[in-house]
Structure 1
Amino acid sequence: MTALPNQLPSESLLDQIADALAGPGFIIIDQPLPVSLINGLIDNLLAQQAEFKPAGVGRQGDYQRNQDIRGDAIQWLEPGDLAVTEFLRWMDKLRLGINQRLFLGLFDYECHYAVYAPGAFYQKHRDAFRGSPGRKLSTVLYLNPEWDLVAGGELVLYDEAGEEQLVRLAPECGKLVLFLSEDFPHEVLPATQSRQSIAGWFRIKPA
């Protein structure tokens, strides 16, 4: 694979993201990453699919697999592959830019590929509970070329009470979603075709 273009998030994009997080608390950005980087991530995902494992729910001692709650298969991202390394560098630039503007204290980023087979879903949940250390800002980057809008598979963001739908987003390739992890219950609806993404979380240190 040839070298990827060095295209980190611009200052204007960082301003836009910070303003949205300080306001409604979420933002949807259309194609913020270079197409060549998206394509490299798709190639890397496809090359590893035989190694994916069924995802679980809960953390550490509470961890369990339950396909009645979530049905995706995952593979955590680590530096090494060129596209993955560039993506993680892009996200670290984003982390630094958000910290400079909002003083959130984001100190690292973890992420995994997520592949949902046709019919698989993830029930409504939160990525973090208010006041707990750990995940502060959630991200989803979609990797679905030529997604058919009638196929389903939308991400639904709810208000903090979990009652009103705020966003219903089709998983179109290249779209990036960011939202405050504590504030937005969300779910992944089933689709009639396989769908894939990178789910990630910027974390804060325990007090």
Structure 2
Amino acid sequence: MSAIIPFTSQTPFDKVVSDIREKGWSITDDFFSDEMVDALMMDISELDNSYMKQAGVGRSSDHQVALNRRSDYIRWIDPITPARSAFLSAMSELRLEFNRRLFLGLWDYEAHFARYEEGAFYEKHVDAFKGKSNRVLSTVLYLNENWAEGDGGELVLFDECDETVELGRYFPLKGRLAVFLSEEFPHEVLTAQRTRHSIAGWFRVNNSIQNTVDPDQ
């Protein structure tokens, strides 16, 4: 099998890096090639819910399933298929660009597939609490074909200074990439009216101290 070409643009990172520099968040359509997105969609479509797990809230010892707050299924991504390997390599390139241009000191990237069945949602939250997490930038890549008005599942992004103010509502359109500062921007996923697929991920810094290893996932 030939290698998957991840990008269609010769300068795929310019808009995202510029947006993060200027306002701390970015919504970019057609960031990846259709070949990449289609291959990732095929990967997650072949995953039965029994091979995924019910998503929870909190991390490490604070993790718990709370269906009244979040009701999607997830599976963490390892480079075990050509599509997943190509995706992780591409995000590694983006990590290096953030470090080169914005001096963010990003150390690694972790990501999982997310499946929202009809009726699933994720209430308003932030991905990291100030001074208590190693997550710096959150990413969401949408994989859905032919998402239409009325299908729900929008990402709602809120202002970092006033979380009652919406910055925008964004449909989970195929190939759309959202990136935002993990500590700064509350966000939610509105109730999906059909099955919704995406990849959620986080660029992280290394907060390991002496013999205490910074946990992932």
TM over 0.5: yes
What's the offset of the Cα at 1:8?
A: 4.9
Deviation of 1:151 after TM superposition, in Å, equals 1.0
The structural deviation recorded for 1:111 is 0.4
Q: Deviations along 1:131-153, whole A, 9 cap, x unmatched? A: 23410000000011111222111
- Cα contact 1:162–1:185 (8 A) shared by 2: yes
- Give the structure 1 partner of residue 214 of structure 2: none
Where structure 2 has 5 or more consecutive residues not aligned to the other structure, the ranges are 210-217
Distance in 2 between residues matched to 1:137 and 1:196, nearest whole Å: 20
Equivalent residue, structure 2, for 1:187? 188
Aligned residue in 2 for 1:68: 68
Q: Unpaired runs of 5+ in structure 1?
A: none
Q: CA deviation at 1:46?
A: 1.4
Q: CA deviation at 1:6?
A: 3.3
SS at match of 2:114: strand
Q: Distance in 1 between matches of 2:76 and 2:32?
A: 20
Q: TM-score, normalised by structure 2?
A: 0.90
2:85 aligned counterpart, secondary structure: helix
**Equivalence map 1:1-207=2 (5 Å):** 2-8=1-7, 12-49=11-48, 50-160=50-160, 161-206=162-207
SS at match of 2:150: helix
CA distance in 2, matches of 1:17, 1:194: 27
Would you say the 8 A contact 1:4–1:37 is kept in 2? no
TM-score normalised to structure 1 length:
0.94
**1:7-38: CA deviation from partner (whole Å, max 9, x where unpaired):** 45867332322221111111111111111111
Q: What does the per-residue CA deviation read over 1:33-59, in whole Å, with 9 as the maximum and x for residues that have no partner?
A: 111111110111112224011001111
Q: Whole-Å Cα distance in 2 between the matches of residues 3 and 164 of structure 1?
A: 46
> Does the aligned pair in 1 maintain the 2:77–2:113 contact within 8 Å?
yes
RMSD: 1.5
Q: Distance in 1 between matches of 2:192 and 2:198?
A: 14
SS at match of 1:36: helix
Tell me the distance in 1 between the aligned counterparts of 2:138 and 2:19: 14
What secondary structure is seen at the aligned counterpart in 1 of 2:13? helix
Identity %: 44
Secondary structure at the counterpart of residue 22 of structure 1: helix
